Structure 1
Amino acid sequence: MKCALSSTLIFSIFLQSAWAQNLLSYTTAQAHSHNDNRQLRPFNEASAQQFGSVETDLLLKNGILYSVNHIEDTTPERTFENLYLGPMLAQLEKNSGQIYSQKDISFQFLIDIKTKAVETLDMLVKELEKHPEIISPSSNIKIVVSGNIPVPELFFQYPAYISFDGNPDIAYTPKQLERIALISQPFSKYTSWNGEGPLPKNDKKLIAKVVQKTHGLNKKIRFWDTPDNINTWKTMMSLQVDFLDTGKVIQMGDYLRTAPR
């Protein structure tokens, strides 16, 4: 009995230590500003917190790209150029060609296409190529296209600086997988958990399984529309989810800089 108790205690300590170490490994570099264009100051709030990933909706209307979710929200002020490309260029100029002054911090720019895939993506490429500073490999910016994306067979029609958001249920060829930068999934596909109390055991197993599968492909994963509170953030960290989804940019920034320590 004494040996059994001792083994159990050691295993418990090991799990607690591993969980704590996992929490400590997270910084704002693993934070993802979901639907960032809905923030009061798109891009600027997330970059002020040094988030590693920012997302904008993208809508094409009359040959102009807008960072909005619905066509009725389009205004001259809410263009993709005004809300993102302009501020990003200012940040690159400020930090010698990179988003952040720390050269080891990469920046993922997730662009969620809301209108027709091919014509919107063609216009996106045209706009990006007006700004070689953004698409230069030296900028350390990873551009990932999500939402309405072309079928995998068409990935290679686009410049190498364009990567795509993937789905774990699609069997990509090895070459197609090279163009996948991220796997994204709706949280509601795996659970109806509201972020209060512990995540149900069976739901946790489902999420852990898809995380393990994604990591086995050497890809990163995020779940969108997760409950947006500290308990959920901690749960996602314990499951080794690579990007923590949030609309509470300042709150998550404060939490990741302080609480895990």
Structure 2
Amino acid sequence: MARTTRRRAVSTLAAAIAGALAAPAYAQATTRTPAGRTPGPLRQAHAHNDYLHPRPLHDALAHGFTSVEADIFLVDGELLVAHEPAGLDPARTLRTLYLDPLLARVRANHGCVYRGYHRPVQLLIDIKTDGAAAYAELHRQLTPYRSLLSTFAHGTVRPGAVTPVISGDRAARAPMEAQRVRHAFYDGRLDDLGTTAPASFVPLISSNWTQSFGWQGVGAFPARERAELRRIVATAHGRGQRVRFWATPDVAGPERDAVWTELLAAGVDHVNTDDLAGLERFLRGDRP
């Protein structure tokens, strides 16, 4: 009887995680936390250039972020985390800064990055150069961690505690598409909207805000731009894909707040920032 109960519990958990991976974050995660309870994870919070913080990954998780971004370079067969070649350090690898800490945390939290939060946390990996070769090494390194990763296998997605999504050098796309089994997914662009690329391969659509929108938070959001933003989000959500914009205003002030407010109102799934505390305050409703 105990074995049957465990199987049912595992089945229920798997179904919940599967729904979480496919479902866009339509609602804002801004509910205030009752006194005495730890604030919950923030579904829209994305840590851009996460590795530049004093404690990569850990600072973002301490602020409740559910998506973190790491830039990588392939150097002598290793994946080093840095924004520019000048910042490369052999000690700062993808494994030591992200994969190993995530594995330890998932084990400690009984299969989740945040205890009791049964949605995948996104690890956005931006390949800076050598896309195909870097992805080949990345796939090799991800494989030993497959127990915690969302996986595509023979046409089916199995959600895990962490979903790696590959961005950056577009040469990684072809080898990824050719794989029958992979432990990562692809970061699409606006050109992928409405195409045959399924959410099982392209679960995320990312774009440079300034290439589609001129508004930077000053004055009213132009009606035509607001309509275009909502069209993009609706099209992506209709195909089970999430939306993220980079290069949005990120200096604290009313302009940034205005843009963030419009992003959330339109249903954008990931709000991009380098200011962890600032976005946490905004999403939890503790703002001027």
Where on the TM-score scale, by shorter chain, does this alignment land: which range?
Answer: 0.7 to 0.9
Map 1:204-223; keep pairs closer than 5 Å. 204-223=226-245
Q: Which residue of 2 aligns with 1:48?
A: 62
Q: Which residue of 1 aligns with 2:184?
A: 162
Q: Which residue of 1 aligns with 2:120?
A: 106
Q: How far apart are the structure 2 equivalents of 1:139 and 1:154?
A: 19
Structure with greater helix share of residues: 1
Map 1:89-100; keep pairs closer than 5 Å. 89-100=103-114
Q: Deviation per CA, 1:168-196, whole angstroms, max 9, x where unpaired?
A: 3136435x543111000110111232233
Q: Which residue of 1 aligns with 2:140?
A: 126
Which of 224, 228, 247 is the matching residue for 1:202?
224
**Following TM superposition, by how much is the alpha carbon of 1:90 offset from its aligned partner in structure 2, in angstroms?**
2.3
Q: Which residue of 2 aligns with 1:148?
A: 169
Q: Which has the larger radius of gyration?
A: 1
**Following TM superposition, by how much is the alpha carbon of 1:154 offset from its aligned partner in structure 2, in angstroms?**
4.8
Answer yes or no: is the 8 Å Cα contact 2:208–2:246 preserved in 1.
yes
Answer yes or no: is the 8 Å Cα contact 1:113–1:148 preserved in 2.
yes
- The residue matched to 2:182 in structure 1 has which SS? coil
**Following TM superposition, by how much is the alpha carbon of 1:232 offset from its aligned partner in structure 2, in angstroms?**
1.9
- The residue matched to 1:45 in structure 2 has which SS? helix
Q: Which residue of 2 aligns with 1:173?
A: 196
- The residue matched to 1:30 in structure 2 has which SS? strand
Residue identity opposite 1:217 in structure 2: R
Quickly say closer, same or farther: Cα 1:158–1:254, change in 2 above 3 A. Answer: farther
**Following TM superposition, by how much is the alpha carbon of 1:23 offset from its aligned partner in structure 2, in angstroms?**
4.5
Q: Deviation per CA, 1:190-239, whole angstroms, max 9, x where unpaired?
A: 12322333322322222222122212222110111111232221111111
Answer yes or no: is the 8 Å Cα contact 2:139–2:182 preserved in 1.
no
Q: Which residue of 1 aligns with 2:263?
A: 236
Which of 98, 102, 109 is the matching residue for 1:88?
102
Answer yes or no: is the 8 Å Cα contact 1:36–1:247 preserved in 2.
yes
Residue identity opposite 1:173 in structure 2: T
Single out whichever of 194-203 and 61-70 deviates more from structure 2. 194-203
Quickly say closer, same or farther: Cα 1:56–1:158, change in 2 above 3 A. Answer: farther
Answer yes or no: is the 8 Å Cα contact 1:143–1:162 preserved in 2.
yes
Percent of aligned positions that are identical: 29
**Following TM superposition, by how much is the alpha carbon of 1:82 offset from its aligned partner in structure 2, in angstroms?**
2.1
Answer yes or no: is the 8 Å Cα contact 2:166–2:185 preserved in 1.
yes
Q: How far apart are the structure 1 equivalents of 2:180 and 2:78?
A: 20
Structure 2 unaligned regions, length at least 5: 1-25, 32-40, 151-157, 251-255
Which of 89, 92, 96 is the matching residue for 1:78?
92
Q: Deviation per CA, 1:92-113, whole angstroms, max 9, x where unpaired?
A: 2321232110232321111111
Q: How far apart are the structure 2 equivalents of 1:95 and 1:138?
A: 17
Answer yes or no: is the 8 Å Cα contact 1:184–1:222 preserved in 2.
yes
Q: Which residue of 1 aligns with 2:149?
A: 135
- The residue matched to 1:52 in structure 2 has which SS? strand
Structure 1 unaligned regions, length at least 5: 1-20
Map 1:242-253; keep pairs closer than 5 Å. 242-253=269-280
RMSD of Structure 2 on Structure 1 (CA) = 2.5
Q: How far apart are the structure 2 equivalents of 1:38 and 1:232?
A: 24
TM-score normalized by the length of structure 2: 0.75
Residue identity opposite 1:190 in structure 2: S
**Following TM superposition, by how much is the alpha carbon of 1:29 offset from its aligned partner in structure 2, in angstroms?**
1.5
